[in-house]
């Protein structure tokens, strides 16, 4: 890339950092624009996209100079986070140029996901690109690379078995429900928060003929909207205690910055249920449920990291499709390279065309003058 302009990837993921580290670096949508502006204003990057999910927080950016990856890694202090610099250095990574592009393509294809081939990541990447566009922080080069990644993700899902019979964190959550409770038919479910994974989990559970579904949120409007989407009874957050004896499964996925349920709260809820088995699926980052709540008698608590070991459905078929996905990634890498090279060459080609046209016009004028 011309003038030492490099594509870089900086961040950490479930492959390098445990959940308690990832949740401290999670960047909410409301902070993305401000963070990108800080990085651009300080000449750390020229353009960028911040991608923050429960499993990874990564910055995809264009930055100048041979030391671009190191410089962007050191820009950590301008990110909104709760990590110490020592923790960041321990778990973070920085990639550049082709290595960075291949990593992004693999992320979009689901090859870097906690569950191989997870479909949700492509939609999340689209949303991250849209947020960066809204902030005005996506230049033409970065657009080419990100669009190539989205294209690769779509191809992998349509052209390989990696996109068939999807297995996501939500599928893993449902499998865990069956492992602990057996037949979930008729079991009551409480959903706290309006997160996408919660919605998917409820829809999957409905296929297993669950019983009543209660939908709770700090916002009654959100609870009503979620009830329309997945069906169920909206419930004021303060009314959870009065209904907890009717449920055996709690799925929590809020955007709260602190624990929604501490151990004391769960202990009180369990007392109302006579300590019957209660399965709590915590899909939030940061976590909604305090880890020590899992020690309350009768409680089975699982967070996102716990669910990784559950997701074995269709994994052999998906693993067998990985080589085909890698071929698509190689093709899309070549396509991105060509597009970037064509963009870099365009000014020179235009200048050459203008020069040739000028010479032609001059020669034509000379010929006409001799007539």
pLDDT digits (tens, 9 = 90+) for 231-281: 889 998 889 999 999 999 999 998 888 999 999 999 999 999 999 999 999
> Tell me: the pLDDT tens digits for 163-209?
665 566 787 888 889 889 999 999 999 999 877 778 888 888 888 88
54 is catalytic: yes
Indicate the CATH number for domain 2-165: 3.30.460.30
**CATH top-level class of 169-307:** alpha beta
Measured distance CA(318)–CA(122) in Å, rounded:
17
Q: What percent of the chain has pLDDT over 70?
A: 87
Measured distance CA(101)–CA(271) in Å, rounded:
53
> Tell me: the pLDDT tens digits for 26-81?
888 888 988 898 888 888 889 999 999 888 999 999 988 777 777 777 777 677 77
Q: What pLDDT is recorded for position 247?
A: 97
Confidence of residue 2 (pLDDT cuts 50, 70, 90): very low
Please state at what angle helix 196-206 crosses helix 220-230, rounded to 10 degrees: 40
**Domain ranges (residues) in the chain:** 2-165, 169-307, 339-371
- CB 287: neighbour CB atoms within 10 A? 24
Identify the three-state secondary structure at position 65.
coil
Statement: residue 349 has pLDDT above 80: no
Strand 299-302 versus strand 278-282 pairing type:
parallel
Q: Which helix (H) or strand (E) holds 107?
A: helix 97-109
**322 token code pair:** 């990985």
Distances (CA, A) of 163 to 23, 70, 240, 304, 331: 28, 35, 38, 21, 18
304-323 average pLDDT score: 74
Contact 7, 55 (CB under 8 A): no
Between these two residues, 222 and 341, which has the higher pLDDT value? 341
Cut 0.85: pTM above it: no
Measured distance CA(240)–CA(245) in Å, rounded:
9
Matching residue, tokens 């597009």 = 339
Q: What pLDDT is recorded for position 328?
A: 95
Q: Which of 9, 19, 25, 54 is catalytic?
A: 54
103-108 average pLDDT score: 97
**28 token code pair:** 């909410």
Statement: residue 287 has pLDDT above 50: yes
């Amino acid at each position: 890339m011309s003038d030492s302009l490099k594509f870089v990837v900086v961040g950490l993921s479930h492959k390098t950092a445990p959940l308690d580290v990832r949740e401290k670096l999670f960047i909410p949508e409301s902070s993305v624009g401000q963070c990108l502006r800080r990085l651009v204003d300080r000449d750390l990057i020229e353009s960028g996209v911040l991608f923050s999910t429960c499993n990874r927080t990564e910055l995809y950016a264009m930055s100048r100079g041979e030391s671009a990856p190191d410089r962007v890694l050191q820009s950590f202090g301008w990110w909104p986070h709760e990590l110490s610099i020592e923790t960041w250095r321990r778990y973070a990574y920085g990639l550049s140029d082709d290595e960075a592009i291949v990593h992004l393509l693999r992320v979009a294809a689901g090859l870097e996901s906690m569950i191989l081939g997870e479909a949700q990541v492509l939609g999340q990447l689209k949303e991250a690109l849209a947020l960066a566009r809204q902030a005005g922080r996506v230049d033409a080069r970065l657009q080419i690379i990100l669009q190539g990644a989205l294209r690769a993700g779509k191809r992998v899902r349509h052209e390989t078995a990696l996109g068939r019979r999807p297995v996501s964190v939500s599928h893993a959550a449902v499998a865990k429900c069956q492992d602990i409770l057996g037949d979930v038919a008729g079991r009551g479910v409480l959903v706290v928060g309006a997160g996408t994974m919660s919605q998917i989990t409820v829809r999957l559970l409905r296929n297993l003929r669950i019983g009543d579904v209660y939908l709770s949120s700090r916002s009654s409007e959100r609870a009503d909207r979620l009830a329309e989407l997945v069906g169920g009874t909206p419930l004021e957050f303060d009314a959870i205690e009065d209904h907890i004896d009717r449920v055996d499964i709690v799925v929590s996925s809020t955007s709260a910055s602190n624990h929604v349920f501490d151990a004391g709260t769960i202990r009180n809820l369990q007392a109302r249920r006579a300590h019957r088995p209660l399965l709590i699926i915590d899909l939030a980052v940061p976590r909604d449920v305090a880890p020590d709540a899992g020690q309350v008698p009768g409680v089975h608590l699982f967070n996102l990291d716990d669910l990784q070991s559950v997701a074995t459905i269709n994994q052999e078929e998906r693993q067998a499709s990985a080589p085909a996905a890698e071929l698509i990634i190689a093709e899309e890498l070549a396509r991105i390279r060509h597009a970037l090279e064509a963009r870099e060459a365009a000014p020179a080609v235009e200048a050459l065309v203008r020069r040739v046209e000028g010479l032609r016009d001059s020669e034509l004028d000379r010929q006409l003058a001799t007539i």
